[in-house]
Amino acid sequence: MSIKATLYIRPNGDTKEIKITLINPEDAQWLNDNNIKVSLEDAPPMLFIYADYGKTTLDGEPDEHLLVVPADSDCVAVMARLVADLKELKS
């Protein structure tokens, strides 16, 4: 199982649609079932992961959760952490 994500590429901010396949099936299912939109920005040595989880700020902008991890982090563990964070935010 996988999820779709948008990868923002430096320096111009070009985008590429990708599939994240290194993810626990139950985490992928939860993200897909909850219509979470994931985007990534590779900024070595860090990786910025944004998740639009359906809430908005007072001015109507998406209230995205931001997770910042070392770029060489284990993808399965990072995605599990992202899902855990989002479950807490949505409760």
* Per-residue confidence (pLDDT) for residue 12, from 0 to 100: 87
- What is the Cα 71 distance to its own chain's centre? 14
* Per-residue confidence (pLDDT) for residue 90, from 0 to 100: 82
| Residue 20 pLDDT grade (very low, low, confident, very high; cuts 50, 70, 90) | very high
59-85 pLDDT per residue, tens = 999 999 999 999 999 999 999 999 999
Round to whole Å and give the CA distance between 83 and 1: 15
2-19 pLDDT per residue, tens = 999 999 998 888 999 999
Torsion angle, alpha carbons of 1, 46, 55, 77, to 10? 40
* Per-residue confidence (pLDDT) for residue 39, from 0 to 100: 97
Question: 51, 38 in Cβ contact below 8 A?
Answer: yes
